[in-house]
Amino acid sequence: MKKIWKSALLSLILLLLLSACGKPEPPQPTAGPSAAPVETPIPVSDTRYLRYDVTEEAQFDLSYEDHFFTETELILLGKRKGATLLLRVPLAGGDAAELPLDKAYKQAAAGPDCLWLGDRMELVRLDAAGQQTLSLTFPELIEDLFCDETGRLYVAHRNSLTLVSDSGEKESISLPKDYTGGSLCRLGSREIAVFASRIKGPVARLQRVSSGALVPLDVGDANIGVLASGDAGADFYYLESNYMDLLSEAGRVFRFSGGASTPIFDLAGTSREGKVRGFCPQGADFLLVYGGDEGTGLLRFTPTEAEKKILTVARLNNNHYITELISRFNRENPEYYLINRFYLGLDTDLMTEMLELDILAGDRPDLLDTMLTNLEVYGTKGLLRDLYPMIDADPTISREDFVPSVLRAMETENGALYRMWPTFELYTCIEPAAYVGDAEGWTPEDMYRIMEENSELILFGRSNDGARALLNWTLTGVMDRFADFETGELRFDTPEFVEYLAFLREMVERARNYDGGDALLGILAVGSTSGFSRGVTNAELADLRIIGFPTWEGTGLRCTGLYSFSVFDGTGNEEDAWAFIRWLLSEELQEEAGGLPMRRSVLEAQLEEIRNGAPETTVTQFVDPIAAASGTNTETVTYTLPAVPPLTEEQLSTIRRLLDGIDGVYEDTIRHPCYFIIWEECVNLFKDAKTPEETARAIQDRLTIYLAERAS
């Protein structure tokens, strides 16, 4: 027995050792300019807060280097025309005093009657008259400086923290292994703390200096982007981490006190642009410094009487464009604040499960970013609002304002509208006219016949997706024929489906033996009117026809949303959530957004624009726009968009015919749970493990279970 307990003890020791590398800690971003974008899956708090407006602002002709807030002034360090300057800005108002400096200092901190300036590994102290009274060097680069009321200076390095006494004596404290030092701040308890980021992962923590040692401070789920000193009411303040900590991201400022974070206000109250460098409370107000190479500014945020309407959006993806869009909504609509609630897990099933568990627990978000979820289920359960009554009740918009074919395609089979795409893409296929002739539509039988008559043809160009692409692009046109999920009728065991499977297998075989030659089908994805114009013109030049996917019913023209939102029912915020969607559908947004606009007026205007064509355009853009914004990667790429030729009336009418003919959503087929069953069985078919008849039977059997599960 003793041995067992010894083993247990040994295990405990092992555990403690391992916990150093594997202990789960809440993810937090690294501090400082190299901050990595990390989302909080569940917001710290959805507590309501007041709206803050910018009541004062000042601009300084100074590229930003560092800043330091004292009780009475803001000290700004920066450069103007290559010369380093120090500005002392009185917080109570008045002109800023300038102090030219002889060296390109990078850090500044102010103490009682003195000023500390840092440059790489050197540090100098100036007295009130600007005379140098002390000079020190360090073995490590200086990351940040902070001087407390007693005149003791704290110097943060990557691996250590140095305490410098008034007489210049240094005392070094090492940071925990694997952590790298960053910003310094003063806690509400008057202790100084350093922000330490985990090197091997997005985990950060505060280390407070206590009796000459560093003590970790549990910051819970605080998602710290920019840190600010605390006061009597808070241990510290922080701006939540966003991609770049830019003003335009309209992040929220939190108070951290007693182990919990509470939002105080957000930065949506300004149209200024720049990176947030720091902030500090001043009474009920907050002063905020922002800037970069282009200049530096100071803003005063003052509370108003108005309370913010807080909305949450469930996000099952990390699409940066949607994140930016939400930031923009927050910035342009100061009465609202839309919070991302990310459900990012190891797989789609887990992400959906997380959302559904929250729903079952009564914690329903206001909006749903629906690209990855099964809308039909939520709609049937009454969890989502039908958007048609909301459109009808909105005096600023009506159903007739939207592209009717796409609106119909977005509906469920019972005629409800549970999703809205601000923009869309059209998916169809292009075929050589030599094979398909002048027909405006074709059935799978036509496709079978053409392929049979032309044994040298393959169906699609062989792609990395191989057999899967064959299934995806053909199934989208034929699925409806074999499955009616509304009535629960399945016809996968019919000769028609067996014939389809036999055809697919034949096509896979042809693709396996492919050694050059034509493909019957090419995919045309149209996401802009100019792209439309090029597609139609090129197709004409190459004698190709655009007639949709082979189908027995409808046109075979499919569409997909670039992003999509739904409104949850029963939250009490449905009308406010609709305000967000209405904003997405505003003409201004529609004109700027990528993809084909949902609003007919905007689409018509864009079609009119391309009628006369457009010249060749040269575009230069950053390879990595996010890195470019932080200055870490300003590499650009230049490319030329070919000229858009003027359109003939016939071409224009082809475009209109294609747009009007859209009658299905591509994702509704290939993201349907049944699709995966069909794919799994088709894998067996393509392996020759099953005949088409056996495959059809297996699909029918498995889908019967799928439907039986849902039967009431």
Partner 1 sequence: MKPKYRSRRNSGGFLFLLPSLLGIGCFYLLPFLLIVGWSFLEDPFKKTFVGFQNYTNLLYNAAFRLAMKNTLAFLGSAVVSALVLSLALALALRALVPRSRLLRAVLLFPLTVPVVTVVLLSALLLDWYGVVNGLRGLLRLASVDWLDGIHARRSMLLLYLWKHCGLYALLFLSALETVPVEEREAAALDGAGKARTFLHIELPHLLPSFLFVSLVCLFFGFRFFREIVLLEGRYPTPSLYMLQHFMRNVFAVLDYQKLCAAAVLLFGLAALALGLPAALLRRRSGGVEFLSLTAGGIGAGNGKHPALAAVFIVLLLLPGLVPTLVTLVHSLAPEAELGARYTRILKQIGFQDGPVKLLLVPQGLTLAPYRELLAGSPLLASFGRSLLYTLPALMVQLPVAVCAAWGFSRLRGKGRDALLLLYLVLLLLPWEVTLVPNFLVARFLGFLETPWAVWLPSVFSPLPVYLLTKELQRLPAELREAAALDGAGSLRTLTQVLLPNLGPALAAVLLLDFIDLWNAVELPRTLLRRPELQPLSVTLASISPEDPLGPIFAASFLYMLPPLLLFALLFGRKAKR
Residues between 557 and 596 with contacts to partner 1, criterion CB under 8 A: 570
Burial 486-514 (b: 16+ CB within 10 A, else e): eeeebebbeebbbebbbbbbbbbebbeee
Type and span of the H or E element at 433: helix 433-436
Binding flag, residue 677, partner 1 (CB under 8 A): yes
Binding range to partner 1, per CB under 8 A, among 194-202, 397-405, 486-494, 551-559: 194-202
CB of 711 to partner 1, least distance (A): 6
Burial 167-197 (b: 16+ CB within 10 A, else e): eeeeeeeebeeebbbbbbbbbbeebbbbbbb
Question: Which residue number, 132 or 374, has a Cβ lying nearer to partner 1?
Answer: 374
The distance of closest approach from Cβ of residue 384 to partner 1 in the complex, given in angstroms and rounded to an integer, is 12
**Residue 55, both tokens:** 């009541």
CA distance 382 to 116: 63
Which residues, 6 or more positions from 635, have their beta carbon under 8 angstroms from its beta carbon?
Answer: 622, 623, 624, 628
Query: Which one of residues 121, 357, 626, 637 is an interface residue with partner 1 (CB under 8 A)?
Result: 357
Q: Min. distance of Cβ 18 from partner 1 in angstroms?
A: 4
704 binds partner 1, rule: CB under 8 A: yes
Least distance in Å: CB of 255 to partner 1? 20
Q: Which two tokens stand for residue 677?
A: 């069953």
Interface map 25-64 toward partner 1 (x if CB under 8 A): -xx-------------xx----------------------
Q: Which listed range, 107-115, 309-317, 590-598, 673-681, lies at the site for partner 1 (CB under 8 A)?
A: 673-681
Q: Which is nearer to partner 1, 232 or 346 (CB)?
A: 346
Which CB sits closer to partner 1, 408 or 462?
A: 462
Q: By CB under 8 A, is residue 508 in contact with partner 1? A: yes
Rg (CA), the chain: 31
State which residue, 7 or 612, has the beta carbon closest to partner 1. Answer: 7
Q: CB 669 → partner 1: shortest distance, Å?
A: 17
**Interaction mask 455-484, partner 1, x per CB under 8 A:** ---------xxxxx----------------
Q: Which is nearer to partner 1, 89 or 383 (CB)?
A: 383
Q: Would residue 466 be called left, alpha or beta, if left means φ above 0 and alpha means ψ between -120 and 50 degrees?
A: left
Contact with partner 1 (CB under 8 A) among 3, 71, 572, 649: 3
SS (H, E, C) 195-264: EEEECCCCCEEEEEEECCEEEEECCCCCCEEEEEEEECCEEEEEEECCCCCEHHHCCEEEEEECCEEEEE
Least CB distance to partner 1 at residue 576 (A): 21
Among 353, 413, 452, 591, binds partner 1 (CB under 8 A): 353
Shortest separation between residue 431's beta carbon and partner 1, angstroms: 24
Query: Residues 311-350 vs partner 1: string with x where CB under 8 A?
Result: ---------------------------------xxxx-xx
Cα–Cα distance, 223 to 625 (Å, whole number):
23
In whole angstroms, the minimum distance from the beta carbon of 386 to partner 1 comes to: 16
Taking CB under 8 A as the criterion, the residue among 172, 352, 571, 691 binding partner 1 is: 352
Containing 424, the helix (H) or strand (E) segment is: strand 423-432
Does 710 interact with partner 1 (rule: CB under 8 A)? Answer: yes
Q: Which of 236, 243, 290, 245 is nearest to 264 (CA)?
A: 236
Residue pair 184/154 in contact (Cβ under 8 Å)? The answer is: yes
Q: How far is the CB of 702 from partner 1 (least distance, A)?
A: 5
Q: Work out whether 356 is an interface residue with partner 1 (CB under 8 A).
A: yes
**Number of Cα atoms under 13 Å in the Cβ half of residue 26:** 16
Does 676 engage in binding with partner 1 (CB under 8 A)?
yes
Of 208, 277, 545, 690, the residue at the interface with partner 1 (CB under 8 A) is 690
Name the minimum Å distance from CB 44 to partner 1.
12
Interface with partner 1, residue 487, by CB under 8 A? no
CA–CA–CA angle 261, 262, 267 (5° rounding): 115
Half-sphere exposure in the Cβ direction for 411 (13 Å, CA):
14
Looking at 10-18, 207-215, 409-417, 641-649, which segment touches partner 1 (CB under 8 A)?
10-18
Q: Which is nearer to partner 1, 381 or 449 (CB)?
A: 381
Q: Which two tokens stand for residue 590?
A: 């529609």
d(CA 196, CA 174): 11
Question: Among 82, 92, 129, 200, which residue sits at the site for partner 1 (rule: CB under 8 A)?
Answer: 200
Query: Rule CB under 8 A: is residue 712 a binding residue for partner 1?
Result: yes
> SS3 for 363-384, per residue?
CCCCEEEHHHCCHHHHHHCCCE
Which residue lies nearer to partner 1 by CB, 544 or 703?
703
Q: Is 515 in the site for partner 1 (CB under 8 A)?
A: no
Q: How far apart are CA 610 and CA 129, in angstroms?
A: 67
| Contact call for residue 14 and partner 1 (CB under 8 A) | yes
In the shown chain, the binding pattern of residues 378 to 407 toward partner 1, with x for contact by CB under 8 A and - for none, equals x--xxx------------------------
- In this structure, the strands spanning 458-460 and 519-526 are parallel
Q: Given candidates 48, 103, 491, 512, which one binds partner 1 under the rule CB under 8 A?
A: 512
H or E element in which residue 5 lies: helix 2-22
636 sits in which H/E element: strand 636-641
* Least distance in angstroms from the C-beta of 332 to partner 1: 32
CB of 556 to partner 1, least distance (A): 26
Measured CA angle at 46 (ends 50, 53), to 5 deg: 20
Interface with partner 1 (CB under 8 A), residue from 201, 216, 303, 613: 201
Instruction: Provide, rounded to whole angstroms, the least separation between the CB of residue 691 and partner 1.
Output: 12
Report the alpha-carbon distance of residue 390 to residue 419 in Å, rounded: 12
Binding status of residue 680 toward partner 1 by CB under 8 A: yes
In the chain, what is the greatest distance between 2 CA atoms, to the nearest angstrom? 96
For partner 1, the closer CB: 17 or 83: 17
From CA 76, how far away is CA 68, in angstroms rounded? 7
Residue 682: what residue type?
A: C
- What angle separates helix 600-611 from helix 529-541, to the nearest 10 degrees? 50
